Amino acid sequence: MTLSVRLRHRQGDFSLDVAFETAGGITALFGPSGAGKSSIVAAVAGLLKPDEGRIVLGDRVLTDTEDRIFVAPHQRRAGLVFQEARLFPHLRVKANLLYGWRRAPEPASQDEIDRLVALLGLEDLLKRYPHNLSGGEKARVALGRALLAGPEILALDEPLASLDVARRAEILPYLERLRDISQVPMLYVSHAIDEVARLANHVVLLEKGRVMGQGSAANCLVGREGLGAVIDATVIGPREDGLTELGFDNGRLAVTAKAAPGTRVRLRIGADDILIARVQPKEISANNLLRVTVAQIVITEDVCDVVLSAGPTPIFARITAASARRLALAPGLPVFAVIKSVTVAT
């Protein structure tokens, strides 16, 4: 289902002027605090009426200021999940889930409820009260409640911001499952690049109320905050040395993570973890050598940022300016990107 957004709105000193369109999966609104991410979610959900704008979800016009169309929030079928789970403290988990189910235009069947409970790993939590849940468990229940309300779009406004690293790691796999299985498009608000790089099908970059760029995670995020590469790959299978071999558009990579052959995975590599060699290294510990081409070089004092082209996959390496000069790096030069298996995150 496509979502088309065009908004202009002023609130105090802040001015929002954005336009983007996306279809299915997770669309991440990424940018610093005050960029306008939450305002866009509020406008899509009908909690903010823009000065000017048009919002279309599928074939439904939700907002059109020119034609004086403004669908009420409760008629938009937008499921909202915030930083705080906002569960009803006096209701057990099952009752919290069914609260959303009762408000769905076409309530899910028991089989569908059971599948969602299994998808989010809630089977052992159904009889608990919210005060007996961890932060990650509360977040999963909030997701389930929103989905059982039968939304046409799910909006997640910094859903992991209040969680520590361990709790984030706990819930991210469930969000990945939702992305891959659910038919409901999702808007995901975050300023955490690791979350966005791992989850997003489409990224809208925001700054000071403006769209600075949009596209795939690889094209929008690589080179930001030390992110060297985002690669969508497929598991080929285990190797004799215990590593797992993956295939992608420009070749193969060996990683330490285990997964079944055929599994689609998204890899993330830090810019500082990518080395560059003019000739193919031999007898080194790194397991991955990718043939790439230097696309761009930017030297700032003692640091050199090198954009490498691996077919359609951009790779960003950060090395010293001294290394760049010693290697005589220049645009168009074929080189090798050297990547250690233990530095590749999945």
Q: Which structure tokens are listed for 216? A: 């795939």
Helix 135-148 crosses helix 110-119 at what angle (to 10 degrees)? 150
H or E segment and range at residue 91: none
**Confidence band of 161 (pLDDT split at 50, 70, 90):** confident
Is the pLDDT assigned to residue 51 strictly greater than 90?
yes
Task: Give the whole-angstrom CA distance, residue 253 versus residue 267.
Answer: 10
Helix (H, G, I), strand (E, B) or coil at 137: helix
- How high is the pLDDT of residue 100? 83
Tell me the pLDDT of the chain averaged across its residues: 92
pLDDT in tens, 99-141: 888 888 888 899 989 988 998 999 999 999 999 999 889 989 9
H or E segment and range at residue 1: none
Is the pLDDT assigned to residue 196 strictly greater than 80?
yes
Q: Which amino acid belongs to residue 96?
A: N
Edge-to-edge, what's the strand order for the sheet holding 303-310? 274-277, 334-339, 288-300, 303-310, 313-320
Nearest alpha-carbon partner for 270 in 237, 222, 329: 222
Contact (CB, 8 A) for 338 and 345: no
**Which residue do the tokens 């995150």 mark?**
345
The residues near 223 (Cβ < 8 Å, ≥ 6 apart) are 271, 305, 307, 314, 316
Q: HEC states along 232-280?
A: EEEEEEECCCCCEEEEECCEEEEECCCCCCCCEEEEEEEHHHEEEECCC
Of 23-27, 74-78, 326-330, which has the strongest mean pLDDT?
326-330
pLDDT in tens, 283-338: 899 999 999 999 999 999 899 999 999 888 899 999 999 999 999 999 999 999 99
Contact (CB, 8 A) for 127 and 106: no
Domains in the chain with CATH codes: 2-221 (3.40.50.300), 227-343 (2.40.50.100)
**Confidence band of 179 (pLDDT split at 50, 70, 90):** confident
Q: Which structure tokens are listed for 106? A: 């076409």
Rounded average pLDDT over 206-232 = 93
State residue 220 phi and psi, 5-degree precision: -95, -30
**Confidence band of 164 (pLDDT split at 50, 70, 90):** confident
Rounded average pLDDT over 170-199 = 89
- How high is the pLDDT of residue 293? 96
Tell how strand 202-207 and strand 210-215 pair up: antiparallel
Distances (CA, A) of 322 to 293, 318, 329: 19, 12, 11
Is the pLDDT assigned to residue 228 strictly greater than 80?
yes
